Amino acid sequence: MNRDSMTERIYYTDPYAAEFDATVIAIEPAPAEHPDATGVVLDRTAFYPTSGGQPFDLGRLADRRIVDVVDRDDGTVLHVIEGPIETGAVHGAIDWPRRFDHMQQHTGQHVLSAAFDRLLQVRTVSFHLGSSLSTIDLGREVTAGEVARAESEANRVVWEDRVVSIRFADAQEAARLPLRKEPARGGRLRLIEVDDFDVSACGGTHVARTGAIGIIAVLSTERVRGGTRVEFVCGGRALASLRALRDAVASSSTLLSVVGAELPAAIDRLQTESRDSRRQLKDLQARLAEHEAAALADRAEPAGAAKVVLAALDGYDANGLKSLAQSIASRPGHAAVLIRATMPSPIVVARASDLTLDAGAVLRHLTATFGGKGGGRPELAQGGGVQGDPAAILSAARRLIGGA
Ligand SMILES: [Zn+2]
C-alpha cells in the first residue's frame, strides 16, 4: 500500500469537520449501480465511507450530490457524485444532521457494549447502525433484568458527560491497553476511549463527550444464534421513538376512553368480551340451525323410502349447510340435499342411519351433471362449485333419491 496515494481522512482526527477543502486527485467511472454518476478521489476528505457498521455520509462535493462513499482496499476513499466534476480545488459539505445522528448512535453503541462487557462480561459480537434502529449482537443470552442493568449503567456514563478521546497506537502499545475487543487488524490502530470506561479500536465517527449521546434506550431484544440481539436508539432517535410511542398511546387511550396506564387492562377486558361474544354467537347459530332444521324437516317430501328435504338456502356457508343437513338427517327416515340459491354453490347430501341411500353416489351424479366436485360416505357427502338453476338441481336430486 502506497501511503502517498491514500486519502487523508479528516474525520479520523476531526469528526466535527462538516465542511472542508480538497484537491481532486482522480476522476473515475462510477460503480455499475450508479450509471449516471462520477467517481472522485480527493487528497483529503471529511466524508465517512461505509465501514465498521456505520453508513456513509451524504452531502455535496463541488455542489454535486453525494450518492455513495466507498472505502477501498488501496486506502483511497471513492466519492460517487451525481453528474460530472472538474479537476482542481473542490469544497465538500457533509449532511451534518445525518452525520451527527450516526455519531450519537455509534458512540452510544460503544458505551452500551462496554456496559454489558463490564457489568456482565458479555461480549458484543457485531454492530449494525440502521436508518431508524441500531442493533448489537451479544455473545450470550441475557435476561430482561440484565438488559435493564446495562442500560442504566450506560446512561449513568452518558449523564456524567465523560470525554471521548481519539488516539493512535501501534500494535505493541495497543497490546498493553485494556481493549474491549481484539483489534481486527494490525498496524497503526485508531483507539476511541471513553474516559475511565472503555477503549476500543474503531475507525468510525464519535461525539466528543458522552453527554452528546443524550440518552441510550433499549427498544427490544430477541434471541439469535445462542446470543441476544439488542435493538437500541440514542439521542434524537430516542426522542423520535418516544414521540411515536406517545402518539400511539394517546390515540389508543382516546379509542378506549382510558388513561395510558389502564390500556393493558382495557385491552384484556375487550379480548375477554370478544371471546364471550364469539362463544354466544356460535351457541345462537347452533340453536338457529336446530330450529331451521326442525322447520325444514316438517316440510320433508316423500322420495323412495325417504322423507327428503330439498332446499336452496342463502345465508349459510358450506359448514352451515353441512350442520343443517346433519341435523335434518338425525331424524329417522330423513334425508337432505341442500344448496345455496346463489351460484356457484356448495352442496351437501345427508341421510339418516336407518336409510340405505348412498349420499356419495347422489352427490357424484349431481356434480357430473351440474359441475363442481366433491365426495363422501354413504351417510354424508359434500362438494362445491355446483352451477345451474337451483330448482333444476333439486329436482334432479329428487329423481335420484326417488329412484334409489
Ligand atoms: Zn466506534
- What pLDDT is attached to residue 4? 58
Tell me the CA–centroid distance for residue 205 and ligand 1, in Å: 6
Q: What is the 3-state secondary structure (H, E, C) of the chain?
A: CCHHHCCEEHHHHCCCCCEEEEEEEEEEECCCCCCCEEEEEECEECCCCCECCECCCCEEECCEEEEEEEECCCCCEEEEEECCCCCEEEEEEECHHHHHHHHHHHHHHHHHHHHHHHHHCCCEEEEEECCCCEEEEECCCCCHHHHHHHHHHHHHHHHCCCEEEEEEECHHHHHCCCCCCCCCCCCCEEEEEECCCEEEECCCCCCCEHHHHCCEEEEEEEEECCEEEEEEEEHHHHHHHHHHHHHHHHHHHHHHCCCHHHHHHHHHHHHHHHHHHHHHHHHHHHHHHHHHHHHHHHCCEEECCEEEEEEECCCCCHHHHHHHHHHHHCCCCEEEEEECCCCCEEEEEEECCCCCCCHHHHHHHHHHHHCCEEEECCCEEEEEEECCCHHHHHHHHHHHHHHC
pTM of the model: 0.74
Tell me the CA–centroid distance for residue 325 and ligand 1, in Å: 71
Q: Does 64 score more than 80 pLDDT?
A: yes
Tell me the CA–centroid distance for residue 312 and ligand 1, in Å: 73
- What pLDDT is attached to residue 37? 94
Tell me the CA–centroid distance for residue 122 and ligand 1, in Å: 18
Tell me the CA–centroid distance for residue 52 and ligand 1, in Å: 8
- What pLDDT is attached to residue 41? 97
Tell me the CA–centroid distance for residue 3 and ligand 1, in Å: 23
At 24, the pLDDT band (50, 70, 90 cuts) reads very high
Averaged pLDDT of the chain: 93
Tell me the CA–centroid distance for residue 24 and ligand 1, in Å: 28
Percentage of residues in the chain having pLDDT higher than 90: 81
Tell me the CA–centroid distance for residue 400 and ligand 1, in Å: 82
